[in-house]
Structure 1
């Protein structure tokens, strides 16, 4: 019997976590009876009743595994760590417990996987959300897709089913701040995209605010493209050429018509403020790369775990995944 693993990150989701478990279990019992279910919940140090609810569920269902983090490490880091515990032949990379990504699509994902696809990616073609959030997400995907070195399909998130060999390739990435959808896209393999409606949250509050979305966008841009530094280089050349041209024109105008030649305090102040702003922008871009490098070379675990339930043995070592992929 093949196993399908489902990874569900959660943080302060006491209103949703039980419903998520029951919904997934019912789908496997009714539509996927020939497959074993492995549901891995990754809790980001919730301070409500989420962990207690999960603990009760795990007591009666050994197919439920739980990892409780020592603090909130963010959804992507905790999910990536959760993938290391997945033992399934195929894995649903992320099914948040708010069920905005429809678990009803899992049987279709499995069917497509069995037909030969290594990656079945869900695409949020329709969103039940306000105009502001739709616009913000649209800008996010536009920026990432235009600047990324890999092909990132618009509206494709982490609600994807990947084959075991794809999981090995994903886990072989030693990234302290993993952008999971980008890593999956960078791995390649045979993929199909399945559109679906991203539903409005029925209860609880979303943990993805504007700052979180901005952080995701910056992480994606600086992790998968050299475009920001290339922009700095090209802009520097253009500004330098413009300054040289301005100097030549100013000198010529001074000899032709001294009255019309640019001069004075205003010109100096505007030029200084413009160049200072450009320099701070470039330093900020360079700082983003340096920060990423600094976090990477510091090493250490991607998350610190406080407790594991229904899990035996250590998490899968990324170095082992890299060796298996190489062989």
Structure 2
């Protein structure tokens, strides 16, 4: 029997985890010809999620749990769990129930048709319509600037063949932009649409800073265009400044006694060029920050405890 590993992560999702596990099991009841297990990585939750995960793992040994020593965020923690999947294929899905586990059978059927990567995309969403439009604009902008075609309305929810997981392990990314890696690695791929649900319980852990971090990670990892725009903008603005200076000189020579330059053009020009410089210094800073992250080469996550893995991996940090 082929084995499918369902990979997820959580942070303070105690109200969703039990239903999430139940719905995953129900999804695989429609796939009796497959074995499955689950890997859930917890980011040091403080709401009782850890105790609940221990109980769920004790009741069902197919549920494997990684308890991280700290909160490593929604980028590093699920990626670390995905690299530990040992099935013939892995399904990445969020535990907040906005991505429906009921879609898993269709993802598996598409995989059996020969697609090594099956991406679940959300052309429609029941989330805040303003946020959904902003996200759509970001996907379009990244695709426009990226050196490789990028998937639109894709959050990482999907099924990935074992060969794709093996390719991921060769990248050694300490802070990956997973959606971009899906496009970069390749393999035969298909998109399956779904409607993203609203949250049933709890509140989203994303805020402006986490969304900005993810957006800039996508740009920095997959396009050099912002850096080149800085050079082009400098050349264009320098040329326009030269033309403006020449125009003022000619006008002053023709109307020496009546034309007064004044301070307004100088002040406006100074603030304009200062703003442009600060913007592109910030862009360069993002790229330098990405280099700094790569150079440090920190682990994706430090695992405090692992449950229902093999005996060697089940030791806790205290035991070591």
Q: TM-score range by the shorter chain?
A: over 0.9
Question: How is 1:10-21 mapped onto 2 (pairs within 5 angstroms)?
Answer: 10-21=10-21
Give TM-score scaled by structure 2 length.
Answer: 0.94
Quick one: structure 1 residues 11 and 108, their matched pair in 2 at CA, closer, same or farther if it must change by over 3 Å? same
SS of equivalent to 1:15: helix
Of the three residues 167, 170, 173, the one matched with 1:169 is 167
Q: How does 1:174-323 map to 2 (within 5 A)?
A: 174-258=172-256, 263-312=261-310, 313=312
Identify the residue that residue 33 of structure 1 maps to in structure 2. 32
How far, CA to CA, are the matches of 2:286 and 2:90 in structure 1? Answer: 32
Deviations 1:289-316 (A, max 9, x none): 111111110122121221111123469x
8 A Cα contact 2:27 2:102, kept in partner: yes
Which segments of 5 or more consecutive residues in structure 1 lack a partner in the other structure?
316-327
Checking the alignment, whether the CA contact within 8 Å between 2:306 and 2:313 is kept in structure 1 is: no
Q: Matches of 1:23 and 1:97 in 2, distance apart?
A: 11
RMSD: 1.6
Shift of 1:217: 1.0
Q: Deviations over 1:150-179 (max 9, x none)?
A: 211211221110111111112222222111
Structure 1 residues 280 and 260, CA gap change in structure 2 (3 angstroms):
farther
CA 1:261–1:114 in 2, change beyond 3 Å: closer, same or farther? farther
How many residue pairs match? The answer is 313
More off after superposition, 38-47 vs 265-274: 265-274
Q: Deviations over 1:108-141 (max 9, x none)?
A: 1111111101111101011012222222212222
Judged with a 3 Å threshold, the aligned counterparts in structure 2 of structure 1 residues 15 and 236 are, in CA distance, closer, same or farther, namely: same
Distance in 2 (CA, whole Å) between partners of 1:256 and 1:159 is: 68
Decide whether the 8 Å contact of 1:253 with 1:260 is kept in 2: no
* 1: CA distance, partners of 2:212 / 2:292: 20
Task: Give the Cα separation in 2 of the matches to 1:9 and 1:207.
Answer: 12
Contact 1:250 1:262 in 2 (8 A): no
C-alpha contact 1:10 1:43 (8 A) present in aligned 2:
yes
Give the 3 Å change call, closer, same or farther, for CA 52–262 of structure 1 in structure 2.
Answer: farther
Q: 1:108 aligns with which of 106, 109, 129?
A: 106
Unaligned residue ranges in structure 2 (runs of 5+): 315-320
Change (3 A) 1:195 1:260: farther
Distance 1:314 1:279, change over 3 A: farther
Counterpart for residue 78 of structure 1? 77
C-alpha separation in 1, matches of 2:83 and 2:154: 22
